[in-house]
Amino acid sequence: MMEELQMTHSQKRYLMAYVTRGDALPLQRFPPSSQQPVPVPHAAACQPGRLPARPLLRPAKVCQAGDAYTREKFKPQPTRDLEKEKRRLQKILALGKDEVEDKVEQVFVRKKEEEIAEPDRFEELRNEIQERREFLAEMEALGQGKKYQGIVLTEISQKLHEMEIIDKKRSEEMRNIMTKAFPIGNKSNL
């Protein structure tokens, strides 16, 4: 900014002396270069009413004179809806229980239902095999079938193996259920 004002070297020094002392800049135009007083930074810093350019600690009187010790008055605001709290307490007195407890029970019941409604792994495997067959058919149509054929067929065989294991478990469970429901007794009972 000083370069834009086209000031003389002595005028720049005059302004820089104000800046280093931490004083406000003068309001009037610069005096002609012959009338400029040479500022003495040490004498100005020792004046009683002024602060040094870089104060380390401020006197207590200066702090108290400013707004450092004034506080805003505390204005408490409600942190919860008092009407809602009144209705909740009325329900507790009338019904004997809190509606929050009911919500917890409902969530617990929903979680149990979700666990029971677990999708069948056998059907998932069947869908995955079908997706892989469709993918392989698309790649063969594009001329990339040989590139993906080994990978896809390996994945399909793994899925089929897993389906066989599930099928054996189900067959064993059915056999156990059937033997418990229709026990084959001794021939002596006949």
Domain assignment of residue 170, yes or no: yes
Domain assignment of residue 15, yes or no: no
Sign of the dihedral through C-alpha 85, 87, 89, 95: negative
Question: What value does the mean pLDDT take over residues 179-190?
Answer: 65
Total structural domains within the chain: 1
Task: Name the strand (E) or helix (H) holding 44.
Answer: helix 41-45
Host domain of residue 176: 121-180
Average pLDDT across the chain, whole number = 77
Domain assignment of residue 146, yes or no: yes
pLDDT at 31: 57
The most confident of the ranges 3-17, 42-56, 117-131, 132-146 is: 132-146
**What is the pLDDT confidence band of residue 178, given thresholds at 50, 70 and 90?**
confident
- Name the percent of the chain lying above pLDDT 70: 66
pLDDT at 190: 47
pLDDT at 129: 94
Reply yes or no on whether the pLDDT at 182 is more than 90. no
Domain assignment of residue 135, yes or no: yes
Smallest CA-to-CA distance from 154 within 136, 180, 140, 166 is with 136
Domain assignment of residue 173, yes or no: yes
Reply yes or no on whether the pLDDT at 17 is more than 80. yes
Question: What value does the mean pLDDT take over residues 136-155?
Answer: 91
pLDDT in tens, 53-78: 665 677 778 777 777 677 778 787 77
Domain assignment of residue 17, yes or no: no
pLDDT at 35: 56
**What secondary structure letter does DSSP report for 189?**
G
Number of H helices, E strands in the chain: 8, 0
Domain assignment of residue 158, yes or no: yes
CA distances to 45, 54, 177 from 66, rounded to whole Å, are 21, 18, 89
Domain assignment of residue 169, yes or no: yes
